[in-house]
Amino acid sequence: MIKIHFLGTGTSQGIPVVGSNHPVCISSNKKDKRLRVSILIQWENVNLVVDCGPDFRQQMLRVNCKTLDAILFTHEHADHTAGIDDIRPFFFKQGDISVFGSKRVLDNLSKRFDYIFSKINKYPGAPSVNATEILSSFEFNDKIIIPIEVMHNQLPVLGYRIDYFAYLTDVKTISDAELDKLNDLDVLVISALRIEPHPNHLNLKEALAMIKYIAPKRAYITHISHLMGFHDEVSKKLPPNVFLAYDNLTITSE
């Protein structure tokens, strides 16, 4: 059994969008307030985060996370990586923080955050990481983590499967070979940006079709923009086993 905390369920701008008077952005419903997308996965005494965007510090405070065992990166876009400097409190307590990602992503982060990734002439007070390139499935603290490659338009992005749980964000297409890795899921988390089509992301209709094909017991939609509509109104239109995720939602999976 694993526990999943939705740290953030919003798209790259978050909701509310700065300066926007869109009805969703001025909604008083807390489920319409979305930080940048990320999850915390827990089992036994393990805390594993998928992505650390610009809201990472706020998210860690909100769930009172005291230790961090690793970060799995899906891809290099800022809404998934820009909070990496805020691993410092964990580093000061624990030492180097383990991070995992594709070679392209780790190379990108090494350039943008060279003071974190470099081992030479380290700036005092800077955090350090133990970076591992993901080449295939790997074991981490008694769990097998299976990378699932999806396409974000032309950009490969890694989703992850642990036991009967899978997390896929920034999805537009998935190959048949990768879909085969998603059989027999208890819970699928998958992104859907909005109602209207988008060149880089699944819209709601496309995401529901993919959920139907994968056939998990339950599915949760994340990486949601204000253009999806009000949480409560959209939720009423979903199939019985499909839910809009929201910030601070906690679920479990086999």
pLDDT of res. 136 = 97
Of 86, 74, 79, 76, give the one whose Cα is nearest residue 53.
79
pLDDT of res. 104 = 98
Domain boundaries, given as residue ranges, for the chain? 2-243
Q: Which amino acid is at 94?
A: Q
pLDDT of res. 119 = 84
Beta-bridge partner residues of 131? 99
> How far is it, in rounded angstroms, from Cα 14 to Cα 36?
5
> How far is it, in rounded angstroms, from Cα 205 to Cα 141?
37
> How far is it, in rounded angstroms, from Cα 121 to Cα 166?
39
Q: Which residues contact 230 (CB under 8 A, 6 or more apart)?
A: 23, 24, 27, 29, 32
Give backbone dihedrals phi and psi of 42, rounded to 5 degrees, phi first.
Answer: -130, 140
> How far is it, in rounded angstroms, from Cα 208 to Cα 230?
18
Q: Which amino acid is at 5?
A: H
What DSSP letter does each residue of 137-152 carry, written as one string?
Answer: -EEETTEEEEEEEEEE
> How far is it, in rounded angstroms, from Cα 153 to Cα 171?
8
Residues 200-244: tens digit of each pLDDT: 999 999 999 999 999 999 999 999 999 999 999 999 999 999 999
Class of domain 2-243: alpha beta
Of 178, 188, 199, give the one whose Cα is nearest residue 239.
188
Give backbone dihedrals phi and psi of 96, rounded to 5 degrees, phi first.
Answer: -50, 135
One digit per residue, the tens of pLDDT, for the chain of length 254 reads 999 999 999 999 999 999 999 999 999 999 999 999 999 999 999 999 999 999 999 999 999 999 999 999 999 999 999 999 999 999 999 999 999 999 999 999 999 999 999 988 788 889 999 999 999 999 999 999 999 999 999 999 999 999 999 999 999 999 999 999 999 999 999 999 999 999 999 999 999 999 999 999 999 999 999 999 999 999 999 999 999 999 999 999 98
Could you tell me the two tokens for 86? 């805020």
Angle at 22 between CA 16 and CA 23, to 5 degrees: 95
